[in-house]
Structure 1
Amino acid sequence: MLKDLLLQFFLSVLPVFAFLLWHDKERGWNGFRLFITVTSGISMVLCLLTTSSVHEYEIDFRVVPYLIGSLYGGYRALAALTVLYAGLRMTTINNMEEMYGFLLYLVVFLVILLFLIGPFQKAAATKKEKIGVSIVSILLVVLISIIYVLMSQADAPWTSTVSFNVLMATIGLLLAVWLSIYIIEGVKEKQQLHDQVIQLSASYLNEVEKLQQFIDKAPIAVMIVDRDGRITHVNEESFRLLGMKESFTSVEELKKQPFGRVFQRGEDHACMPLLEQALDGMPTTTVPQMEEDAMLLYTTVTLRDTSSHEVAGAALIAQDVTELSQLRDELGRMERLSLVGQMAASITHEIRNPMAVIRGFVQLIQERSPQSQHEYFRIIMEELDRANLIISDFLSLAQNRELKMELASINTTINDLVPLLHADSNLRGQSLEVALCKDVPLMRLNDREIKQMLLNIARNGMEAMEEKGILRIKTDYRDGEISVYISDEGAGIPQDKLKHMFEPFFTTKTRGTGLGLPLCLSIAERHGGRIDVQTAEGQGTTFIVTFNITQEDAGHSNP
């Protein structure tokens, strides 16, 4: 009987060994439940062929594949294997006592499995082993009890041979169940580790690719060298900022080269001592350097091994900060100009009072002077008025006061200016044409400032034309923008002067202040707009004032 038990032991763990041959890392656990169910069924049939008996009660290891197949295959596997197990056992039952014993055994087995399949599949490996061994232990108690009852009814003695056979069967069953679960869980753990390694490898490669993309696309020069000073990573920007030798034409050619061989100036290059210091373990160093009217910022970082903290290499980063330096200088200049402007605004405001007093006394002196001297006094007052106008324009430009905005139509503002513009154009022998778009929506504006802006631009256009010239004003609305076009037929603006048009105090007029157009631009910007200029010498000039209309500001204009 011992040989039969040993053979049954190997047959009962057949599904597990078949699983070892079937499983591979590529397939994973796809189809595992069906496979373990089928092989468990085959193992049960093979165990039936080597059945042993104790006092005419059959003992075999069919319960092991039955248990393993049900626990890992789930409730469908339990149903299929139960039918097979019952069918195989029914063919070998000889009397009613065996029938009752088998039914008791099967009921206990089914009840236990129905309650434990779910918790088993969710449990950890160690707990699964305990569950499997516990189930078999309970079934062994039931089985030994049934054998004991049958032997008592038959008045058969419980010999040492019977005890030995029952002991061997008990050990074999417990060992088979534990070994089966241990092997399957071991394979599962290795599969999980394999999946984690693949996932970590994929994540690592992904991060490496991101880092490489950053190095390749960053607007800074990056060079990484190993502990021996050989280049491992470098990007295209390094050719522009680090000054590589012309013999190197691609990034790939630079890799694995000693960094001392790639710079144009060799040992005299500013990066050489920085990299050498970093490889010697010196702390992070940042050094500015002027290179052909460009300000470069060199930074070196020592790279260390995370475990041993030994120097593993160095990284060199170069950044062109020329524009940043220029912006910083420009910001400082603007701050100084702003301060000067505030002081000038305060001073000019105070100058107006004594100028008004001077003008009053000049008028008084004029009235008491001979007629022959009146022309001199007229010139003095005109110049005082001109100085006062310059001060007014300057104060309007310098003051950043908060505007009171109202929802209104820019067409209405232009219509209010038309009589004044007609009068000006008639005095000059010119014509005025106005074409207003009826679909222009309402917008938030300050009527007084918009009138001042449009009047300045229109009068500039008139002054640029000769007699019989035509000044055209039209409005348009499209793509959420309101545009006002003011066109003249003058000589146009030369390109060299066009870029200075909105600079304070720049003027092409003999008696101009140079503050009109900067003031117009300031008004447009305070209304969220812009001014564009289209001009060609000999063909006239068009000023386009454009306002971006938001949903909350837009409304319907009256036609």
Structure 2
Amino acid sequence: MAAKTYKSLDHVLGRFDSLDPASRASLVQRLARERRLLENIFNVLKDGVILVDADGHVEYANQTAGKMLGLRDDQLGDVVLWRFVPGLRPPIIDVSEDARDDAVQAAHAMTREIELTYPESRVLRLYMVPFFSDENGGRQQYAVILGDITNEREKTEQRIADERTSSIRLLAAGVAHELGNPLNSLTIHLQLIERRLKKLKGSAKKDADALSESIGVCQEEVKRLDGIITNFLEAVHPRPPDLCETQVSEVLADVLHFQRRELEDRGITVEVEAPGDLPLVMADRNQLKQVFFNINKNAMEAMQPGGVLRVKARADDDNVYLLFGDTGAGIKQADLAKLFQPYHTTKQGGHGLGLMIVQRIMREHGGQIGIESREGAGTVVTLQFPRKDRRVRMLK
């Protein structure tokens, strides 16, 4: 039906000069209706549609494309697409009119994936194909389709992270068994030796003291290995959260009270802005404590005596936020992308599972974790929890 309509329009336009004024006015109204119809169709599309000339100037953009790129109608013609996507500019097809169809068919359509940070962070898939417009003097133009694949990319990254975690689960039982049993045996025998040494101290005090010191070192190492195993098992065999109404400021206060002595010993000052009337969230209190403990521990180990740990809490209509800022050495940009990978650590003696566990717990609570850092300026960790009255549970 649409094809017949446009053929009839072409027929009428072909004899436009011979039409009387009333017929011309009717034709103009009809063309205006057709234009509005096409604009409405383009503007309801979820994909962005852009028309650019051979130099990359944007001549048309539907509403979706305008929102994606932050373009206003009065900017059309001034914005050059090639500036948005360096390296995108294709070669101009310079051929005779008779050979244009063959040239367009031979020209390869271009596909790119681009990441934008303005007007909001997005990942877009760009598809561009050249064509010649007879209505514009045979000028070469490009039709560009923009698809928002931000959610698709996030799901892919999360799936990769889940697959990475699943792969190490295959080794969990064997590793825990192989390390756990010898550690238990070592602990028992060290305790027996320690008891016997206490009986020998009277007759051979010097030797007994030396042996006691060695035993103390061994016991500390056993504790450290036991902690590694505990973290490993927690990472690969997580417990589902036992969700209940939770005031995050209360859980935070409990954790800071528990860590108070260590903070004082390290000479670190804590500044907290966490109102007690924050909106409730649905959370597992014990897992929340583990999240706060790990983040605070990382902050403490990143700072020298005299450092400051600042914790701020706030809320909006949808989420509750906790921000942990330290005055430590910061994190190298090259390491930021690897922070949540298993066994990646920038600390001597670290096991590289703490932030991986934190990320998993936040995901299972429907929340998110973000980290901003700059070398020499410290690090800010942001936790985002959905409010209890805004929480939506996804079943699939």
Fold equivalence (TM over 0.5): yes
1:446 Cα shift?
0.7
TM-score, reference length from structure 2: 0.58
Indicate if the aligned counterparts of 1:533 and 1:544 stay in contact, CA closer than 8 A: yes
Q: Which has the higher contact order (CA 8 A, sep 6+)?
A: 2
Match of 2:186 in 1: 359
Equivalent residues, number: 300
Of 92, 100, 115, which residue of structure 2 is paired with 1:246? Answer: 92
Match of 2:172 in 1: 345
Match of 1:537 in 2: 375
Indicate if the aligned counterparts of 1:491 and 1:540 stay in contact, CA closer than 8 A: yes
Q: Is residue 256 of structure 2 the alignment partner of residue 418 of structure 1?
A: yes
Indicate if the aligned counterparts of 1:244 and 1:262 stay in contact, CA closer than 8 A: no
Q: Decide whether aligned partners of structure 1 residues 409 and 330 sit closer, same or farther in structure 2, where only a CA change above 3 A counts.
A: closer
Please give the secondary structure, in 1, of the residue aligned with 2:330. Answer: coil
Equivalent-residue separation in structure 1 for 2:337 and 2:170 (angstroms) = 27
Give the aligned CA root-mean-square deviation in angstroms. 5.2
Please give the secondary structure, in 2, of the residue aligned with 1:257. Answer: helix
Superimposed CA distance per residue, residues 329-348 of structure 1 (whole angstroms, 9 cap, x where no aligned partner): 98996676354222122223
Equivalent-residue separation in structure 2 for 1:543 and 1:331 (angstroms) = 19
Equivalent-residue separation in structure 2 for 1:375 and 1:417 (angstroms) = 32
State which structure, 1 or 2, has the greater radius of gyration over its C-alpha atoms: 1
What residue ranges of structure 2 are gaps of 5+ in the alignment? 1-21, 24-30, 51-80, 110-126, 128-144, 198-206
Match of 1:440 in 2: 278
Please give the secondary structure, in 1, of the residue aligned with 2:190. Answer: helix
Please give the secondary structure, in 1, of the residue aligned with 2:389. Answer: coil
Q: Is residue 319 of structure 2 the alignment partner of residue 481 of structure 1?
A: yes
Equivalent-residue separation in structure 2 for 1:409 and 1:403 (angstroms) = 16
Of 69, 74, 99, which residue of structure 2 is paired with 1:257? Answer: 99
Q: Decide whether aligned partners of structure 1 residues 256 and 527 sit closer, same or farther in structure 2, where only a CA change above 3 A counts.
A: farther
| Aligned residue identity for 2:182 | M
Please give the secondary structure, in 2, of the residue aligned with 1:441. Answer: coil
Q: Decide whether aligned partners of structure 1 residues 536 and 257 sit closer, same or farther in structure 2, where only a CA change above 3 A counts.
A: same
Percent identity reads 24
Pick the structure with more strand per residue.
Answer: 2
Superimposed CA distance per residue, residues 254-273 of structure 1 (whole angstroms, 9 cap, x where no aligned partner): 9763544457xx7xx999xx
1:205 Cα shift?
9.9
Please give the secondary structure, in 2, of the residue aligned with 1:551. Answer: helix
Q: Is residue 232 of structure 2 the alignment partner of residue 390 of structure 1?
A: no
What residue ranges of structure 1 are gaps of 5+ in the alignment? 1-25, 28-200, 220-236, 272-296, 298-318, 555-559
TM-score, reference length from structure 1: 0.43
1:453 Cα shift?
0.8
Q: Decide whether aligned partners of structure 1 residues 255 and 202 sit closer, same or farther in structure 2, where only a CA change above 3 A counts.
A: farther
Equivalent-residue separation in structure 2 for 1:208 and 1:481 (angstroms) = 40
Please give the secondary structure, in 2, of the residue aligned with 1:493. Answer: coil
Match of 1:525 in 2: 363
Indicate if the aligned counterparts of 2:372 and 2:380 stay in contact, CA closer than 8 A: yes
Q: Is residue 299 of structure 2 the alignment partner of residue 457 of structure 1?
A: no
1:535 Cα shift?
2.8
1:546 Cα shift?
1.6
Indicate if the aligned counterparts of 2:312 and 2:324 stay in contact, CA closer than 8 A: yes
| Aligned residue identity for 2:187 | G
Indicate if the aligned counterparts of 2:307 and 2:326 stay in contact, CA closer than 8 A: yes
Q: Decide whether aligned partners of structure 1 residues 414 and 244 sit closer, same or farther in structure 2, where only a CA change above 3 A counts.
A: closer
Superimposed CA distance per residue, residues 214-265 of structure 1 (whole angstroms, 9 cap, x where no aligned partner): 9x9679xxxxxxxxxxxxxxxxx9xx9xx976334xxxx89763544457xx
Match of 2:57 in 1: none
1:363 Cα shift?
0.9
| Aligned residue identity for 1:455 | F
